Structure 1
Amino acid sequence: MLSTKKIIHLVIALNLFQVLQAQELNTNINQYLNEYIKCNDFSGAILISKKGNIIYEDSFGYANKELQVKNTLNTKFNLASVSKQFTAVAIMQLIQDEKLKLDQTIDTFFPKIPKSNLITIKMLLNHSSGLQIDFDELYLKYADIDSTNVFKTIEEKTLLFPPGESIAYSNIGYFLLAKIVEKISGLEFEDFLKKRIFKYADMNHSGVCNNDSIIKNLASYYYKSEDGFKKNPFINWKYNIGHDGIYSTIEDLYSWNNTLFKSEKILLNDFKNLMIGTYNDQNFGFGYVINPFYSHNEKFIGHDGMFFGSITSYNYFPEKDIFIVVLSNNQSPSYLLAYALSAIMLGKDVKTPYKHNKIELDFISIKKYEGSYGKIKFFEENGVLYYQNSNIRLVPESKTKFFRESDPNITYKFVTDKYGVVKKVIISKYGVEEIINK
């Protein structure tokens, strides 16, 4: 049996190991991000934690380019579709309160929506309702659109398939869920979130966007064009809720993740398990994506978002207790950056980002890389190599290596045998490599 002295020494050694491990992770992350920032126009904020301790957090770029106001740890970002998890939790709270049921149809709330007598709450949550993805024809309208206009637009849209018979991602579905929260609770959606979620998760810097309020420290949004960055257009926030519309900070999201998954302050475990314990063949749980192909073969709960310059990524590995959030306000691919950072946190080898330079290759040198590699294909057209389709153009940086024209951080290195026959391709996504044989 261990003596008290030996136990103390063991605890000290274990704590020291954890400190050293955290320091090493921080060093690796810093090295990666320092090089990434040199090569890319990232603007946003990043937080990474492990076992309840923040390993890394920092901000980059500008919250407002016009006024040269920099992003900080306190900058508030629109979460885009990362907002959906809050809507799902709000619905589950009403189910927990026995005010709603998963198998309840929505005709009680929206009788004029096609097949509403067959669409259930669960179908809205897991994107199996058949509702179309968006009402994007309304997103940018300056007019004071009221609920009548919005619901008329939804009611006129035909279903993509009979309810429950397939899967199609639907922002409209989550807009309807937010409206159901309002109808049942008698509160505006933001007021419900403040009362039932933000308060208990200590999310003191979070809220719901609207057209009128001045929100301190809220980032502006920019999108990329051929002429450089441009400011995003006006967005009518009156009905861009449920699927979108929540703003928050990286530290508020860290607090949210800890509160939701490590306590029952917001939702009892049985109801959380319903959200994340069941998912369909497109990996949709309720408000989350569960164990997708990019999860590094780990248990994963998360969601990404993209909306007019705002690109966000929320990633939680519950068995490792690793949390990564990347929020961007200039259309930076946060989800791919989070993919690389999660690989580093999981101890995988991740290549350092670098500047990619184009070289010229002749037709014959390019043509030899054509063909199928597993489930993917490359083809040559007019002296250019393409990946999968003519929208993904590849640019040579060496005789054997190409990068995507649209995103140089994704590369393809072809490997030949001693006879010059192409045998495989090494695909690198932000430094995370995958080998696929021909």
Structure 2
Amino acid sequence: MKVKSVILLAFVGLSLVYCKEDRESDNKINQPTSFTILDTYMTALTDLKQFNGVLLVEDSAGHVFSKAYNIEAEIPTLKVSVQHQFDLRSIAKLFAKASLVKLEHEGKLAFDQKLSDFFPEFPRGDEITIDQLMHHQSGLGREFKNYEGKGIDLSPEQVVELAHQEKLEFEPGSDSRYSNIGFQLLYKIIGEKSGGTYANYLRNNFFDPLKMKNSGSHYLDPKGQLNKYAFGHTEKNDSIQLVGEDESDMQQGHTFSTVEDMKKFLDFITENKLYNELAEDNIITHAGGTKGKRAWVYTDLQKGYKIIFLANYDNIPFSNLTKDLISIMDGGDVEIPKEVNRKAIEVPSSILEKYVGTYDFVDAGHIVISVKLEEGKLNAYQKGNFAGELIPENDSTFFWDPKSKESFIFTKDKEGNSIALMDFQGVRWQGILIE
């Protein structure tokens, strides 16, 4: 079903929609058309068990829609409210970028400064700039390759020591590749500029001044501030399960917040033109996620609207969801989520054998998938373990689950090289054929 974002209108209570100038009024107000569609869309997605969390949207007129969406499930830890505190994951990087802009404006560092200015012994540190670290162009990998312990046990100083041991995956400035390691170095640099930790800097320069009272660091702030935590969940064996805390994560940058606090931050960086340099094509956005958790913030400086969602469930169509939320706010067409039932077809082995090989999904943390043709079927393996059958929908598009839109697509890049596109946890990743 498709709906047009200019034809629906409804009234709702103030608990869902309010104006900046009249947040305490008990009177009902007209709900903007886009908010009606947003609620219809998110309710349908939740009914399909594809979203659990909180959405907050502000339109260009200053109307705000804020609502928690909860899957009907017999697991009490899954239920959340607008007041719940969620892991921000990589959205901590947006705070880091804002911190660096502030420090640069204050003359405390420069984007063209070398990494060696802060860590003199860092291998090839005289070739890597702050700007390259900010834009994932340093050559450092996504995660540590030579450490198998618990990341959460590492001090910031130990993290820097491990980073010294990493080999660059490409020449600094020659490519872009997502790097959590690079931002761990930036977190340390920002912290040192405040004479403490990255968490100290965020609290002193953003959380406290902006009255973000429900935001902080999991490990480097007082424990009492995290009092309404949204525990992460995932789907396994057709049931929703609580996810344990990720011990591979590291202390720096492990932050939490609420949708209302995140709106305060977005308000600040959009209204203060100093931070407009964080925008690309008038958009400031960032995503974050790990097993059981998803987060996304988006603001259009030109059109004047903001979107935030925080989720404590990872089985969501992340890319489609973000695209559709933007489309709704832009007044475009969207398809209301509905149940999927994909059909398999027969594909000759002569075609299937063209796809046999090993694919490295570099930006997904070097996930390596081996595809084998066995008894007329394409089977996928990861680390030697069977990952599932690739079921053909057409000659080049395959799926794992007929109830899911996620696909595994074989195609070629612009240079004619064979690649695979894999939808994984709501995001499409590109895999390079390596053998």
Using structure 1 for the length normalisation, give the TM-score: 0.69
Unaligned runs of 5+ in 1: 1-18, 277-289, 292-298, 372-378, 413-438
**Distance between the aligned counterparts of 2:147 and 2:231, measured in 1?**
21
The structure with the largest alpha-carbon Rg is 1
**Do 1:394 and 1:402's aligned partners in 2 also have CA atoms closer than 8 Å?**
yes
Aligned pair partner of 1:328 in 302, 306, 311: 311
**Distance between the aligned counterparts of 2:145 and 2:60, measured in 1?**
40
**Distance between the aligned counterparts of 2:223 and 2:177, measured in 1?**
34
What is the CA distance between 1:90 and its match in structure 2? 1.0
**Distance between the aligned counterparts of 2:146 and 2:84, measured in 1?**
30
Counterpart of 1:235 in structure 2 is 246
What is the CA distance between 1:115 and its match in structure 2? 0.6
Change in Cα spacing, 1:362 to 1:102, as seen in structure 2 (3 Å) is closer
Using structure 2 for the length normalisation, give the TM-score: 0.70
What is the CA distance between 1:305 and its match in structure 2? 1.1
**In terms of mean alpha carbon deviation, does 75-84 or 222-231 score higher?**
222-231
5 Å matches for 1:92-241? 92-135=101-144, 141=150, 144-210=153-219, 213-214=223-224, 215-226=226-237, 228-236=239-247, 239-241=250-252
What is the CA distance between 1:136 and its match in structure 2? 7.1
Change in Cα spacing, 1:163 to 1:391, as seen in structure 2 (3 Å) is farther
**Distance between the aligned counterparts of 2:236 and 2:217, measured in 1?**
28
**Do 2:145 and 2:166's aligned partners in 1 also have CA atoms closer than 8 Å?**
no
Counterpart of 1:272 in structure 2 is 275
Change in Cα spacing, 1:175 to 1:195, as seen in structure 2 (3 Å) is same
Counterpart of 2:404 in structure 1 is 408
Change in Cα spacing, 1:163 to 1:144, as seen in structure 2 (3 Å) is same
What is the CA distance between 1:124 and its match in structure 2? 1.0
**Distance between the aligned counterparts of 1:209 and 1:352, measured in 2?**
36
How many residue pairs were aligned?
A: 358
Counterpart of 1:285 in structure 2 is none
Query: What's the CA shift string for 1:239-295, capped at 9, x where partnerless?
Result: 3424xx121111111121112111x3xxxx3x424333xxxxxxxxxxxxx35xxxx
Does residue 76 of structure 1 match 2:85?
yes
Aligned pair partner of 2:284 in 270, 289, 301: 301
State the one-letter code of the partner of 2:41.
Answer: Y
Counterpart of 2:331 in structure 1 is 347
State the one-letter code of the partner of 1:176.
Answer: L
Counterpart of 1:356 in structure 2 is 340
**Do 1:326 and 1:338's aligned partners in 2 also have CA atoms closer than 8 Å?**
no
**Distance between the aligned counterparts of 1:303 and 1:173, measured in 2?**
16
Unaligned runs of 5+ in 2: 1-28, 356-370, 380-386, 409-435
Query: What's the CA shift string for 1:314-347, capped at 9, x where partnerless?
Result: 1222221121112111213344322212212212
Counterpart of 1:435 in structure 2 is none
Query: What's the CA shift string for 1:212-243, capped at 9, x where partnerless?
Result: 8252011111233336344334435983424x
Query: What's the CA shift string for 1:54-83, capped at 9, x where partnerless?
Result: 442211238x98644620000011111111
Change in Cα spacing, 1:341 to 1:91, as seen in structure 2 (3 Å) is same
**Do 1:25 and 1:55's aligned partners in 2 also have CA atoms closer than 8 Å?**
no
**Distance between the aligned counterparts of 1:304 and 1:122, measured in 2?**
20
**Do 2:123 and 2:164's aligned partners in 1 also have CA atoms closer than 8 Å?**
yes
**Distance between the aligned counterparts of 1:55 and 1:404, measured in 2?**
38
SS of 2:120 mapped into structure 1: coil
**Distance between the aligned counterparts of 1:86 and 1:323, measured in 2?**
16
Counterpart of 2:264 in structure 1 is 255
**Do 1:45 and 1:59's aligned partners in 2 also have CA atoms closer than 8 Å?**
yes
Change in Cα spacing, 1:85 to 1:136, as seen in structure 2 (3 Å) is farther
Identity %: 23
What is the CA distance between 1:148 and its match in structure 2? 4.7
Change in Cα spacing, 1:410 to 1:137, as seen in structure 2 (3 Å) is same
